[in-house]
Homo-oligomer: A and B are copies of this chain.
Amino acid sequence: MNVNGRIWLETSKGTFAGEGRIALLEKIKLHGSINKAAKEMKMSYRQAWEQIESMNKQYNKPLVHKASGGVGGGGSVLTLEGEKVIKLYKEIKLKFNEFLKAQSKIL
């Protein structure tokens, strides 16, 4: 028998970010493109953008910055705030995994 689970960050306005949204942010960082990130997450651009908007609104500062125009057209950049949120989630997730492991051991 094992203990398993999941965690997420939330604000008074609802879910802020869990496993899926953090993965989306990581893919935006990797590709510099919401479109590519959305495809890899098997969601539509619209779905991805709605999740980003939900996070941006709850965080007060944008986590993803949509650049437009310039050489090679637009692109999307993960902001420093976006990086912070990923780091924060990962740190808590690591501690949660340790918690699950410790609890599973004493079952």
Contact = CB atoms under 8 A, between A and B. Distances in A.
Interface of A: 1-11, 16, 88, 92, 95-96, 99-100, 103, 107
A86 B10 CA distance: 28
Contacts of A6: 5-6
8 contacts: A1-B10, A1-B11, A3-B7, A3-B9, A3-B92, A5-B5, A96-B99, A99-B99
Number of copies: 2
Contact of A96 (B5, B16, B107): B5
A2 B13 CA distance: 11
Contacts of A88: 107
A74 B14 CA distance: 45
A93 to B, nearest CB: 10
A107 B92 CA distance: 9
A21 B107 CA distance: 18
